[in-house]
Amino acid sequence: MVVNNSNIHEVIRRISRAVENFETPSVTLVGKRWRNPFLILISCLLSLRTKDQTTLSASERLFKLADTPEDMLKLENSRIEQAIYPAGFYRTKAARIKEVCRDLVERFEGRVPDDLDQLLSMKGVGRKTANLVITEAFGKPGICVDTHVHRISNRFGYVKTSTPNETEQVLRKKLPKEYWLNYNLLLVMWGQNICKPVSPLCSQCAVLDFCAQAGVTQHR
């Protein structure tokens, strides 16, 4: 059986119940702790190719130094690098943070826009980051597709796509809008703990009877 729109409600219900005691991803924790669009945006940038705990610690250290675009621009790149290390590509991220802050000040009066196209117009802000900001910072409908969402949606048989961007576009047409805000959070936690990239824990899967197990060659 594959996941489709006739059973997606049951799938979401089961996963929601199963992840109740799993660790919450760092960007969501940042959103709950500070509820500040700028800090969520910066944390999203830091999270790329970086483990959650590293992202959260790096965010906390950086935000003690500066928590507005204006104050961030006053910091030397080396100071930002030191604060966010050992986040992946920390030197590149430090430079990108400064670019984003400059853009915010010069084009958006220091405020993070709540519009997807405006966010995407900023250098270094891709669809994953923009959608996370839209959903986590503003609570507006958006579908953030990272590697977990892309992999699991295909593994379910819910979509048949080759890239995360393709997955997002299909989900925008197919996924009931009531699940847009939480779909990323649920599947990230599911992917980190159960539906792993290699050898998923199918024996512990709450929705195995709905899953096509597409592409799964080995499981536990």
Catalytic residues: 128, 146
CA distance 48 to 62: 16
Q: Is the CB of residue 130 less than 8 Å from the CB of residue 116?
A: yes
CA distance 47 to 49: 6
Q: Which residues contact 64 (CB under 8 A, 6 or more apart)?
A: 83
Q: Is the CB of residue 37 less than 8 Å from the CB of residue 114?
A: yes
CA quadruple 158, 162, 168, 169: dihedral positive or negative? negative
CA distance 150 to 144: 10
Burial class (CB in 10 A: 0-12, 13-18, 19+), 128: buried
CA distance 196 to 33: 28
CA distance 26 to 35: 13
- H or E stretch including 180? helix 180-193
Which one-letter DSSP state was computed for residue 136? I
